[in-house]
Chain A
Amino acid sequence: MSENTIHNPHLKENPFGVPQGYFEQVEARWAQKAADAQQGVSAEVFPEVHQDSGSLPVAESRSRHFFRLLKPQMQLAAAFVLLFGIGSLLLFITDRNRGTETQSPEFSLLGELSDRGLDHRVISDLILDDFPEEESTYDLTNLDLDELIDYLNYPGLDLSDFENNTNDE
């Protein structure tokens, strides 16, 4: 049998090494953890069965473990519910206030007309009819001079000066 085949028995020997005393350390480490758990010292290492008064029954231990796993998710869900509740409450309050403050008679009338089937253009015409027609530009030639003088009259104005100046021109 050739040495360079996998059938060489030498090849089945373990070529790896470990630091001196490694396996003893592993055993000692876990034995210590187990002893701590038994005495209720190390709850973090053996959380599943650790309790001050000894080991828990398996079913109780499992249910506690289950709730411990669920705890963060439950907290997150509770936070969402709280935020949603606050948001809904704020929306409800502002909507109620807005409803009472902004419901003017005009809006009520528009809503009523619209409910009766009137087209919005008809409603618009009805509203615009109530406004006065745009005033035409005043014809300056029709101005009454006396009215203008009365309009410009203010304390200290000497009307005779005004008349003289106009006559000079």
Chain B
Amino acid sequence: MNSDKELQALCESGQYENAFSRIVQQYSQRLYWHIRKMVLLHDDADDILQNTLLKAWTGLSTFRWESQLFTWLYRIATNEVLTFLRKSKSLKQMPLEDRLDADPQLFTGDQIQKALQQAILRLPPKQRLVFNMRYFDQIRYQDMSRILGTSEGALKASYHLAAAKVEETLKELLL
């Protein structure tokens, strides 16, 4: 596991390519799942991951290493996801509700897991982000605050509200 300090040392010595390869090894899976839970389809998640990594590469020389690298990467990925969702809404692409059934080979969950995903899909995009990051990835509110640029208090309130909504919808769906 490469710490931020090791990666910083590589960048400061001009070894950007080496540093970036290690970043991809270390963070690409976490970033992919963060993206995939929001857009649901593998192909879209793959495109967004490539864009995220490309932006991370082009911005790596300007990254100041004052904040954690993973919060910076998550912020890029989150912005890419929100941009994609805005565009896909305006382009009237496949609705999110239909995406769970679009590729059965790549959704291996059972009935209750599918119901949970359907319940999460009823949340607004930003609340969905907060719920996914806390519920599935157990990201600390402090880090979420840096990623999403929102106060910790607002994030806690948003998560509890989202959790209550999901719980209620889940019960409805599984009746």
Contact = CB atoms under 8 A, between A and B. Distances in A.
Interface residues of B, number: 43
Interface stretch (A25-33, A103-111, A122-130): A25-33
B161 interface: no
A35 B17 contact: yes
B17 A61 contact: no
Contact of A38 (B17, B25, B117): B17
A15 B117 contact: yes
Contacts of A34: 17-18, 20-21
B18 to A, nearest CB: 7
Contact of A19 (B21, B33, B42): B42
Chain B interface SS verdict (over half): helix
A15 B171 CA distance: 19
A26 B42 CA distance: 13
Interface string A9-32: 011111111110011001100110
B112 A4 contact: yes
Max chain B CB contacts within 10 Å: which of A15, A37, A62? A15
Nearest to B100: A15
Contacts of A14: 33, 136
B58 A30 contact: no
B139 interface: no
Contact of A62 (B18, B61, B112): B61
Contacts of B58: 47-48
A163 to B, nearest CB: 104
Contacts of B60: 48
Given A4-B171, A34-B17, A37-B17, A18 B42 contact: yes
Interface in B75-133: 105-110, 112-114, 116-117
A46 B167 contact: no
Interface of B: 14, 16-18, 20-21, 24-25, 28-29, 32-33, 36-37, 40, 42, 46, 49, 53, 57-58, 60-62, 105-110, 112-114, 116-117, 135-136, 163, 166-167, 170-171, 174
7 contacts: A6-B167, A15-B114, A26-B49, A27-B21, A48-B58, A55-B16, A62-B62
